[in-house]
Amino acid sequence: MEQQPYESAADASAGRGTGGARVLVVDDDPTVAEVVSGYLDRAGYLVDRAGDGPTALASAAAHWPDLVVLDLMLPGMDGLEVCRRMRGRGPVPVIMLTARGDEDDRIMGLEVGADDYVTKPFSPRELVLRVESVLRRTRPLAGARSLGAAGLTVDPAARRAAKNGVELALTLREFDLLAFFLSHPGRAYSREDLMREVWGWDFGDLSTVTVHVRRLRNKVEDDPARPRLIQTVWGVGYRFDPVGSSGQDEA
């Protein structure tokens, strides 16, 4: 179904159980920012707004957000640079807003660490659901068992991961992807499978999976150009091989 651009906030009941999380909305279009902020506010979030990159960074420094809704196209400092600088200060989930059809821009957003993206025009109610979904995945999983193989360890309860005892700086989706691979060693999964199981989406841009696999390889493989743990299964997708017996060129 085609989504309607920036509908009026007549029904913001999509937000449930948010626990008062703080969301920073960064968009230079005041109409978009106002509508999105209104939906998030009525869904129970604490909302800060910024119309440009420097203001967004200053706002984040004053009140560190639990999540950032970040427009890619900003005056002066673009969303990619804002995302990079925020990532340099600390981990924070980022949902990027991009123009429809700008696939290269979406991929660049994912490359700098965005956890999700929404294309304009979009339904604010859908955006609220995306915010909920991302924040839900940031919450520690009480009682979840730790996972480990090939020198990699994942503690879902603390949402911490390490390689050979050295903690890994993973984004939200990278952590979830690694945890999924460690939970299902030796089995090949298509990109559609991974999108459904890790992202919780039944459909979407499969380049999202490709980019996150590449980013994860860069952090867990000894030689990301010849990955031995997260292997490409040609014509299928990817397989986590804790033995790492035969590396494949990255794809």
Report how far residue 181's alpha carbon sits from residue 194's, in angstroms, rounded to the nearest whole number. Answer: 10
We find that the CATH architecture of domain 147-240 is Orthogonal Bundle (1.10)
- Cβ atoms of residues 73 and 52 within 8 Å: no
Beta bridge partners of 201: none
E strand or H helix at 167: strand 166-167
Measuring CA to CA, which residue among 215, 210, 243 is closest to residue 229? 243
Using alpha carbons, list the distances in angstroms from residue 198 to 7, 50, 97, 144, 192.
Answer: 29, 30, 21, 16, 10
- Cβ atoms of residues 134 and 95 within 8 Å: yes
Torsion sign over Cα 209, 210, 215, 216? positive
Torsion sign over Cα 119, 159, 39, 69? negative
- Tens place of pLDDT per residue across the chain (251 aa): 333 333 333 333 334 445 689 999 999 999 999 999 999 999 999 999 999 999 999 999 999 999 999 998 898 899 989 998 988 887 888 998 887 556 676 677 777 778 888 888 888 888 998 898 888 877 765 556 788 898 999 998 888 899 999 999 888 889 999 999 999 999 999 999 998 888 877 666 788 899 899 999 999 999 999 999 999 999 999 999 987 644 444 44
Confidence at residue 205, expressed as pLDDT on a 0 to 100 scale: 72
Using alpha carbons, list the distances in angstroms from residue 11 to 14, 17, 131.
Answer: 8, 16, 16
Residues of the chain with CATH 3.40.50.2300: 22-138
Residues of the chain with CATH 1.10.10.10: 147-240
Torsion sign over Cα 92, 103, 217, 139? positive
Residue spans of alpha helices (H) in the chain: 30-42, 53-62, 79-89, 103-111, 124-138, 172-183, 191-194, 207-220
pTM of the prediction?
0.68
Domain 22-138 has CATH 3.40.50.2300: yes
Q: Look up residue 205 and give its two tokens.
A: 């841009």
Report how far residue 155's alpha carbon sits from residue 134's, in angstroms, rounded to the nearest whole number. Answer: 18
